[in-house]
Amino acid sequence: MDRINTEFELRGVNHVALVCADMRRTVDFYQGVLGMPLIKTIELPNGWGQHFFFDVGGGNALAFFWFPDAPDAVPGISNPKTVPDQGELVSAVASMNHIAFDVAPERIEEYRDKLVAKGVEVGMILNHDDSDFGVAPGWTEDVYVRSLYFKDPDGVLVEFAGWTRALDRPGDVGHEPRTAADRNV
């Protein structure tokens, strides 16, 4: 199985940029609650807003724009209405559904407890596997990633996820990609 990009030498994700309603609240959450160092702040020209960057480890960053005239989020369109285990996961085409930060899978319970202690509403721990529903009741050899979901103050769906095995089993890549014609709209 060849997994080398022969077109571009990509080194990972430099940053993902989201939009927030309140930069101070965003800094308080990502730096204060999640502990991500604020590494760069930019005041955009012409009163267009701000652009701030947080270090998420591994040379990667999470960025936020604050625009004074940004429209409000519309849950179920711009972002999912709830965390996956509490309802819906759907969001609109071209929206960002969620951001997942890589964590050690054996620390998921500890991190859930820490978030709850900080007052963050957190979904249940999910052990993702290839069963019909896609979630196992516990951590087994068939679980490929363990995760938990929560939302930031603007409703951005955030996930802590930890791979539990290499993704190299015969069934790991085997689904035919769906097309726009398959949509229910």
pLDDT tens digit sequence for 153-179: 999 999 999 999 999 988 898 888 999
Tokens of 32: 């204060």
Fold type of domain 98-172: 2,3-Dihydroxybiphenyl 1,2-Dioxygenase; domain 1 (3.10.180)
Give the rounded distance of the alpha carbon of 54 from its chain centre: 14
Cα separation, 95 vs 13, in Å, equals 18
pLDDT tens digit sequence for 138-156: 889 999 999 999 999 999 9
Phi, psi for residue 127 in degrees, rounded to 5: -105, 95
Domain assignments of the chain as residue spans, ordered by start: 98-172
Tokens of 136: 């196992």
Q: How does strand 60-66 pair with strand 50-57?
A: antiparallel
Cα separation, 103 vs 13, in Å, equals 16
pLDDT for the residue 11 = 82
